[in-house]
Structure 1
Amino acid sequence: MAGEAGGSIPATRDAIEALWNAKVYDFYGISDIFGSCAAMCSERNGLHLAEDHILVEVINPETLEPVPDGHRGEIVFTTLRKTARPMIRFRTGDIGTVNREPCACGRTHVRIYITGRLDDMLIVSGVNVFPSDIEFAIRGAKEITGEYRITAITENFTTRFNVEVERSSSSTEDKSSIAEKVSQKIKTQTGVKPKEVIVLDEGELPRAAHKAKRLVDLR
């Protein structure tokens, strides 16, 4: 899978596997650099990068300084084998981390973990929040469908966000109880609570035929 971080989110991956009865592996590509350049192994713990072709760095997107391994930042690539059009410290706009420890599969290629796009990042009370963080928090909960929509708003000159989810048609739990549970899960995952969690009935959120629009920015 590619295009979004869903293949690297265990609960999302499990749901897709259950639906299609097939193993799901995430991969990552960027046409400016090398097309498909990183992919999961059998361990499915990060995406191994083709380091014989690409040098990876993670930088602070504001200062452009490197950040320590394991810390979130913007993924930056330098091509090693392109001669006609080399790319040096190409800013991808993707936020993620790197892990340079050997993988249990035996490979020693660096692993990258993609969190989301820099454009989709919300800074809430000093905390960086991505749609994938919300998805990680709510996927797999039995009382909701897993569909969600985030709405970013400004309140008293501060960024806040609301989250809409759907109560599963098989659930008999009260919507207010579901809202509180979802709010707490999001806080546990991100460090901040949404302003409001709105619980809809199954099927009320729009479905997308292609890439889902998870973030509505009203700021």
Structure 2
Amino acid sequence: MKNKRIDEKYAISSVDYMSKKEIFDLQSRKFKEIIPYIADVPFYKNKFLKEGINNKQIQELSDLPKLPFTTKEEIRLSKPMERTPLGYDGIAFFFSSSGTTGNPTIYSWSTKDDLILREVAARCMKRVGVSSGDISLVLAPFGMPIMWYCMINQYLASGAGVVPLGISSPNEILKAMSAFPITSITTLPIIGTRLFEFMSMKKMSLIKNRFCHFHFGGDYLSNARRYRIENYWGVECYDFYGLSEIFGPIAGECEEKKGLHLAADYVIVEVVDPETEKSVPEGEVGVAVYTTLWGKAAPLLRYWSDDYISLTWEKCKCGRTSPRIIYKGRPIDSVVVNNKKIFAKDIEGIILSFSEISDEWALKIVGSTEQPMAKVYLEKTSGYKINTKRIQQEIMNWLEIPVRIEIVPFGSFSRSDVKPKRIIDIRDK
């Protein structure tokens, strides 16, 4: 039965159609309201005292860049209850970050956070047509990391149903696709290609039924991998972005797939040059710095996320005017060569555009800082001749350093790591 209350509540988000000035005005009002709340958090109270900041002097959104950043290390060294103004009676549960880039950090969560998550996540799902009657197969690790909780709630808030399978083997995933009327699979991008590879090797037929969408998150999605998955499966792929410290998704694609629409009424994002710590011009890549705008159990003020993004305010072809972000990756997904930051997402975009190459690859930077060279390891798919010279030239054009291509047998790369490190820097220091 169609859940009209939920569908109508989240069908259209007015912030998606506000002008830039209207969004700034809304953010400014919320920022003024939230500063006293943040200043009451022991973690920030001590930080303000140490930095000589009087929160009463913070009156306008324009004051935000004057405030110090909040770093991952600061948060890791603090305790969960130091980062909330709430008592234990105000905490719904505790969760952790994934620990992908370091030791997991524990955060608190409130019922208000639940409401905001459901509102924002439902918006993201509605943009790509999710509604009552849809059933999503959720492939995420269960436990302390909050990713699985957010994924399940984004569908429940949209009136859709969920099959919470968790991290499973290809056989178990395919059994679930046969047993349930699945309309979408929610997982990491690499699962979309590996699952198809498994089916191809086993000479299994595609299980379509009602399946029509992949919803990806938790890692970068290159356009080349998206193109492959859409062609393999004959379905649409949509990308979503979030982070444990806030929730996910805080941004998601629309049908145009030209950037992820940000929930700008609940999150301020600054895109900052990591060297100068100043905002970069619109469209340029920098580190995402987040400030939350509601009474979050664990609020964030200028949180240095380490995620690299670009941001645009250009009106989307879908008609929405909300800011859009392009996610590039984390420091672990990049390397600096001759003062140029290289992202795995861009290299993958080149490599996977060649159909004779499998979905797996790796790049090693060798030599020295002064004279670097790239070794690119690629798997050959059966029945195709590899145009190594063309691949080499295109990667050289991007890296602007010498490149050597090495073809390895199919299956040389492990298929067990769902977040493989693609770029490895082993230069002499």
TM-score range for the pair, normalised by the shorter chain length = 0.7 to 0.9
Larger Rg: 2
Compared CA separation, residues 194 and 179, structure 1 to 2 (3 A): farther
CA distance in structure 2 between the aligned counterparts of 1:203 and 1:83, rounded to whole angstroms: 46
What corresponds to 1:142 in structure 2?
Answer: 355
CA distance in structure 2 between the aligned counterparts of 1:85 and 1:207, rounded to whole angstroms: 36
What corresponds to 1:208 in structure 2?
Answer: 416
CA distance in structure 2 between the aligned counterparts of 1:79 and 1:113, rounded to whole angstroms: 19
Matches within 5 A, 1:86-125: 86-125=299-338
What corresponds to 2:388 in structure 1?
Answer: 179
Whether 1:133 and 2:343 are equivalent positions in the alignment is no
CA distance in structure 2 between the aligned counterparts of 1:149 and 1:191, rounded to whole angstroms: 14
One-letter amino acid matched to 2:393? Q
TM-score, with length taken from structure 1: 0.88
Whether 1:48 and 2:261 are equivalent positions in the alignment is yes
Give unmatched runs, 5+ long, in structure 2.
1-215
Whether 1:4 and 2:219 are equivalent positions in the alignment is yes
Asked whether the equivalents of residues 356 and 380 of structure 2 are also in contact (C-alpha less than 8 Å), the reply is: yes
What corresponds to 2:405 in structure 1?
Answer: 197
Secondary structure at 2:238 match in 1:
coil
CA distance in structure 1 between the aligned counterparts of 2:220 and 2:344, rounded to whole angstroms: 9
Asked whether the equivalents of residues 143 and 167 of structure 1 are also in contact (C-alpha less than 8 Å), the reply is: yes
Q: 20-29 vs 78-87, which deviates more?
A: 78-87
Matches within 5 A, 1:20-59: 20-59=233-272
Give unmatched runs, 5+ long, in structure 1.
none
Compared CA separation, residues 213 and 83, structure 1 to 2 (3 A): closer
Compared CA separation, residues 156 and 106, structure 1 to 2 (3 A): closer
Aligned length: 212
What corresponds to 1:71 in structure 2?
Answer: 284
Q: Deviations over 1:101-145 (max 9, x none)?
A: 111111111000011112332111221111111101111212222
Asked whether the equivalents of residues 124 and 160 of structure 1 are also in contact (C-alpha less than 8 Å), the reply is: no
C-alpha displacement of 1:15? 1.3
Secondary structure at 1:26 match in 2:
strand
Secondary structure at 1:15 match in 2:
helix
Structure with the higher strand share, 1 or 2? 1
CA distance in structure 2 between the aligned counterparts of 1:183 and 1:124, rounded to whole angstroms: 17
TM-score, with length taken from structure 2: 0.47
Task: Work out the percentage of aligned pairs sharing the same amino acid.
Answer: 35
Q: Deviations over 1:132-159 (max 9, x none)?
A: 1110111121222232111233426554
